[in-house]
Amino acid sequence: MKHNWEDYKEKVLKLRDIFKKRNEGTETEVEVVLPGEEGYSSEVGVPYVRVRYYVDDHYHERRIDLYEYHLKKDIQDLVNLIEHFVQEFEMEIDQSEYGGG
């Protein structure tokens, strides 16, 4: 299936800038990665958000693929959605690391 993420490239780059500014001084790193870039590791062929949550001396990682139905959203709605996914991920890790969940 062909994914038309390139139609939204400007929005994806803006998203990258937004999260790059929010990463400073946090234990969670949120990075937008595009197909063809160094470190890209998806067979799907769409941009994704790589979330790394640092705990002590290691990190947990999750990838959130950005399909066209995500990219059609208003930029602020998309930021809110990604932040929701990140918070969910952090809670899952905190429960498994500290809460025995």
Rounded to whole angstroms, the Cα distance separating 15 from 52 reads: 17
Terminal CA-CA length for the chain: 37
Q: Where are the chain's structural domains?
A: 5-99
10-68 per-position pLDDT tens digit: 999 999 999 998 877 678 999 999 999 999 998 999 999 999 999 888 999 999 999 99
Q: Which residues share a beta bridge with 29?
A: 52
pTM over 0.85? The answer is yes
74-99 per-position pLDDT tens digit: 999 999 999 999 999 999 998 887 76
Q: Which residues share a beta bridge with 60?
A: 53
DSSP 23-91: -TT-SEEEEEE-TTSTT---SS-S-EEEEEEEETTEEEEEEEE--HHHHTS-HHHHHHHHHHHHHHHHH
